[in-house]
Structure 1
Amino acid sequence: MRTLVVTNDFPPRQGGIQTFVAALLARRPPDSLVVLASRSPGWEEYDAALPYPVVRRPTGMLLPTPATARAATDLARRHGCDTAFFGAAAPLGLLAPALRAAGVGHLVGATHGHETGWVALPGARQLMRRIAGGLDVLTHISEYTRQRLAPALGGATRLAQLSPGVDVELFTPDADGTAVRRRYGLGDAPVVVCVSRLVRRKGQDVLVAGWPRVLARHPGARLLLVGGGPLEGGLRRAVAAAGLEDSVVLTGAVRPEELPEHYAAGDVFAMPCRTRRGGLDVEGLGMVYLEAAASGRPVVAGTSGGAPETVREGVTGHVVADPRSPDGVAATVNHLLDDPDRARAMGAAGRAWVEQRWSWSSIAATFATLLDPAQR
């Protein structure tokens, strides 16, 4: 079985979907793959190190144009591809009829969370239904996204869960956060860490607003906000206005390879995400919770979208009932800081759960099953 992978989202361009697609392919037999992708800076060097062929269209954005359709069908014929996988089904899944006409018998497309916003809009909903109708399987990353997609698609295709996985060799309790603690002057203080882009949905603003309530109970605690984004300026102003400069640290953007040590610098992970804009701005799943759990940290999550699915309530962490409430968020954080032994036990339980359910080896096995036409 050989699979043609058609994707705009592919390294060396960075992003969650790019990481997802590359990690799936890294766990497939190299001689079973051929990739059609767009170009991004550094693509020649990146492709030269891969064990499977990659063909790059001369564009920074791969769209379902006639030229892309010709390139895809040509590759499918030349390499004898009997399956195809769309790294993001919308909109490249529109190429499915052309590939089926070229002899590709089994087509799978992935969704990643933003499609739940698409199906809330009449025109985009019709497009998603058309895309789904051309596929044998459409994947979703969480039960939340399935519940949003299924009614809009009206049974146009089979839905199956294919979530991103966690690199349990990279995100591990053995990671050393000492250098990060030293860099930001955290010392031996209890540290609450949040790793994410700084945007309102993620809830860093609520963490800052509730932080005085944490300090009232744990005067030596520190809040480490890891990441950059459009909310950074506003957060820095809020920290200064509240006189929290000595206890709240904003790191700015951090390189991906440095993230494990930043998780390790924390005792508790917290990101009280909330849904915004009438459901259009929502957390599809929340990989940072799983990375934190793999790192052996208890997690505090919000209620947005699929985020609660990343937490075993009371076992690996807690979901805050009202992530917009500084009091509620602070109380949940305090609950974990109050009992370090229990927090560590939750972290250990989270690590075990991620190894069992969310590791890339488990996700890769699911992917292999979905690519198999016999599993239809």
Structure 2
Amino acid sequence: MTAHVSDSSARSILMAVDQLPFPPRNGVTLPTFNYAEGLMKSHRLRLVLLADEANPVDQAALAENEAIFGEIAVIRVRRRHKLKRVVDELLGRDMFNQGWECLDASPELAGVAADVFLVSPYSAAAKWLAANSSGVDRFGCRIAAVSDCTAAEYFYRGTQDFGGLKLTLKARLDKLRASRVAVVEQRTLGNFDHVLMQTKTDQQLMKSLVGEGTAARVAIVPNGVRRDFFDIRRDGSTNKVVFVAELSGEYAAIADWLVRVVWPAVIARSQTAQLLIIGKGASAELREAIRCVGSAEHVDFVDDLRSVYASAAVVICPVFKGYGLINKALEAMASGVPVVGGVAAFNGIEGFVDRVHGFVCRPRNTEDFAMAISEILSNPVRADQVGSAGRTLIEDQFRWASAIQRIEALMPHRSESGE
């Protein structure tokens, strides 16, 4: 159990989340957990969970989190009717993918105050504002940790090639929706004094798509990387190529392309190569395609990626969106494993040099990916050089302790918040 600060002179922080932070296994829970764990060491932290009625709270998981963070209050919310959400987005009143309303809340939350209100991620901010008529006005300092720009997510989907008609049409529609989403994003984030984002690119996108006023309140707070990833010593004799992703939605098409198109081109050059795909949500068609490739294997989940990276020769990161920080790329590089990916896989990594710290490939370019993977597999010395350079670059920039310090610097002294 993590120690709790009880000193009344310490800042009080109310942190609203919409996923239980522990275990930190995705792009939402990774920063949420580390923010909470880091801040509770010096401040009086209290968590409140905004729980979607469609996904009931797992009581065992809640108890596990309360053992770490103390009692967690719960606000239950649900989405409004689909037709209303469509109309609301068209009119710029709300996002279709949000559209929340409150069902019930812990009574002790009525009128609760704190020196600092921290919400993570954007969806938790939307849920809090929908569930609390008083908004966030009663808090002395209001911080929204959104990581990246929601409007940019919609906009960039319309610029990507997903390899299928249905997904491509949806992506084009999402690009059209970006302007409506931006209106809502601007209004929601207008309730906060500070907006935490991962990279300077994200801040520029917030400026161009959402507005200068919102971008002016952005503080760049990159994620950190767990220190034990830097302790990994990779097996230099391995020929295993690893791809880790949620295999539903847009990554389903990318995984299919990797298996059916890229991998045969790799095997033509490196006959002993082995492909390991890790991720939930794979369709029956994708599972069958992987099964038919004798040198490929798929698992839904692994408890600890460190053991995977320790036996990996290459990590593939075919990310082609132009925003966000890619945690899987950071963790692989921290582990000393060469990463092959689109230029967006290395978003926010200052000083990155292609073919020194990793390999950049053109979007969905089979030849680029096959050649880069094969070059690493055929030259262990070169692989070690790139892996070592990547590790050093990440270690210098991405620390959770630094992220916590940047957040604390945004908080007013207690005398400034009326204490």
Which category describes the TM-score, using the shorter chain as reference length? 0.7 to 0.9
Query: Does residue 126 of structure 1 match 2:218?
Result: no
| Secondary structure of 1:356's aligned partner | helix
Change beyond 3 A, Cα 1:357–1:111: same
| Secondary structure of 2:282's aligned partner | coil
- Output the CA distance in 2 between the equivalents of 1:284 and 1:129: 18
Give the letter aligned to residue 2 of structure 1. S
Q: CA RMSD in A?
A: 3.3
Change beyond 3 A, Cα 1:12–1:308: closer
1:349 maps to: 389
- Output the CA distance in 2 between the equivalents of 1:290 and 1:153: 28
- Output the CA distance in 1 between the equivalents of 2:73 and 2:338: 42
Q: CA deviation at 1:70?
A: 8.1
Q: CA deviation at 1:326?
A: 1.2
1:292 maps to: 332
Q: CA deviation at 1:355?
A: 1.9
For residues 89-140 of structure 1, what are the alpha-carbon distances to aligned partners after superposition, in whole Å with 9 as ceiling and x for unaligned?
A: 34146379835532x1211102134612357533322111111211111122
Contact 1:172 1:260 in 2 (8 A): no
- Output the CA distance in 2 between the equivalents of 1:216 and 1:293: 26
1:315 maps to: 356
TM-score (normalizing by structure 1): 0.80
Mapping of residues 266-281 of structure 1, within 5 Å:
266-275=312-321
1:83 maps to: 116
Change beyond 3 A, Cα 1:259–1:65: same
Q: Higher RCO, 1 or 2 (CA under 8 Å, sep at least 6)? A: 1
Unaligned runs of 5+ in 2: 1-10, 52-56, 80-97, 156-176
- Output the CA distance in 1 between the equivalents of 2:108 and 2:284: 42
| Secondary structure of 2:30's aligned partner | helix
| Secondary structure of 2:15's aligned partner | strand
2:66 maps to: 48
Query: Does residue 151 of structure 1 match 2:200?
Result: no
- Output the CA distance in 2 between the equivalents of 1:69 and 1:124: 30
Which of 159, 164, 189 is the matching residue for 2:223? 164
Q: CA deviation at 1:345?
A: 1.6
Give the letter aligned to residue 200 of structure 2. E
Change beyond 3 A, Cα 1:99–1:336: same
| Secondary structure of 2:343's aligned partner | coil
Change beyond 3 A, Cα 1:214–1:89: closer
Give the letter aligned to residue 315 of structure 1. V
| Secondary structure of 1:301's aligned partner | strand
Query: Does residue 18 of structure 1 match 2:59?
Result: no
For residues 247-288 of structure 1, what are the alpha-carbon distances to aligned partners after superposition, in whole Å with 9 as ceiling and x for unaligned?
A: 2222x2113x3211112121111122234xxxxxx7632111
Mapping of residues 221-236 of structure 1, within 5 Å:
221-231=273-283, 233-234=285-286, 236=288
Contact 2:234 2:336 in 1 (8 A): no
Give the letter aligned to residue 109 of structure 1. A
TM-score (normalizing by structure 2): 0.72
Change beyond 3 A, Cα 1:37–1:215: same
**% identity of equivalent residues:** 21
2:192 maps to: 135
2:140 maps to: 105
- Output the CA distance in 2 between the equivalents of 1:165 and 1:232: 35
| Secondary structure of 1:6's aligned partner | strand
Give the letter aligned to residue 147 of structure 2. H
Q: CA deviation at 1:36?
A: 1.2
Q: How many residues align?
A: 346
| Secondary structure of 1:5's aligned partner | strand
Q: CA deviation at 1:303?
A: 3.4
Which of 311, 330, 342 is the matching residue for 1:302? 342
- Output the CA distance in 2 between the equivalents of 1:338 and 1:308: 27
Unaligned runs of 5+ in 1: 179-187, 276-281
- Output the CA distance in 2 between the equivalents of 1:143 and 1:284: 10
Contact 2:76 2:102 in 1 (8 A): no
